Chains A and B, each alone.
Chain A
């Protein structure tokens, strides 16, 4: 618990520094959903990264759990890719998934996984050859899914929190103290950044923050063997990403897409009614309504909470009984 508290404190206290640094370096983005279109620092996610890594380092020092090293490395690789994107501009959207495969390497090299996932109605499987390939594929998918849902103030963090809460409960039930503490550290650091990232955001978490969160989620799911529960808890993020790819027919830069899924009128979000506009979770939430940005984020959070409850129920009723 001390480690999670340290992660939260470090995140909360370092965020103003990261915001100032981001402003000084001119790493800012326009908040397009506000009528006054403010420029907002993009590197606030660094505070969450710093806080999480401090908490993890403290836990490693206090308990000597070796599982934390590959997970920290995986998250750092993803965050680094995001930081490059924040500083130098968008990475080619077709190259980015390949780069994110590198985030899986620390997990694979350290063997921080069990290739025997439990599948509902089937039981424990043996996937010694296939599982490493699935690990490599999981990082681009999850990181991009979390990145893709980071469209409104606080949306990436608030939709990730239910996953971390679900993980804490599952690991507590299994008696896996190291993984529970790890999920708790990520949860604490995420919550600590919220005061700066919620509407009206004083900072964005940036690609560095969202890819870090995605890598944290993928790492916890793999190292903690909660793959099925994680996939279910991440259905809102995954479906959002899948809809975009399907509706724009491929992996493309947002700048290349002419039709927008939403328009903003007087600070309210209105879903496009054109059939060739990209389908997103936010467009579905706002369909046929004028939605305030804050309410839209709460709606996304509620949907993520529901998915996490389904993930938890699946784990308790269909997975734990087979372990």
Chain B
């Protein structure tokens, strides 16, 4: 039963990552990729776009890892006092 519960929990985690990835792929495309590809004239705006894109992507990856740690230590693994 624990194996089934673990698989379902990981599937739920993957679903969350999938939904957020769709958003992140859009954000990075209109910020980082657009700027690097098109080199729009306004340098300040270009830097701002890249920074925003990089921060969003970085926050997403950091959030993904934090969420995984939470999933593993708070949900999947039994609490220490119970083992």
Contact = CB atoms under 8 A, between A and B. Distances in A.
10 contacts: A127-B33, A232-B21, A239-B17, A284-B76, A285-B3, A287-B72, A288-B78, A289-B2, A302-B7, A310-B18
A129 interface: yes
A228 interface: yes
B37 A126 contact: yes
Contacts of A310: 14-15, 18
Interface of B: 2-3, 6-7, 9-11, 14-15, 17-18, 21-22, 25-26, 29-30, 33, 36-37, 61, 64-65, 68-69, 71-73, 76-78, 80, 83
A303 B21 contact: no
B77 A127 contact: no
A19 to B, nearest CB: 31
Nearest to A133: B36
Interface of A: 119-122, 125-130, 228, 231-232, 235-236, 239, 242-243, 246, 271, 273, 275, 279, 281, 283-289, 291, 295-296, 299, 302-303, 306-307, 310, 314, 318
Q: Is the interface of B mostly helix, strand, loop or mixed?
A: helix
A1 B83 CA distance: 54
B17 A288 contact: no
Given A235-B18, A273-B83, A303-B11, A288 B26 contact: no
Q: Is the interface of A mostly helix, strand, loop or mixed?
A: helix
Nearest to B7: A299
B39 to A, nearest CB: 9
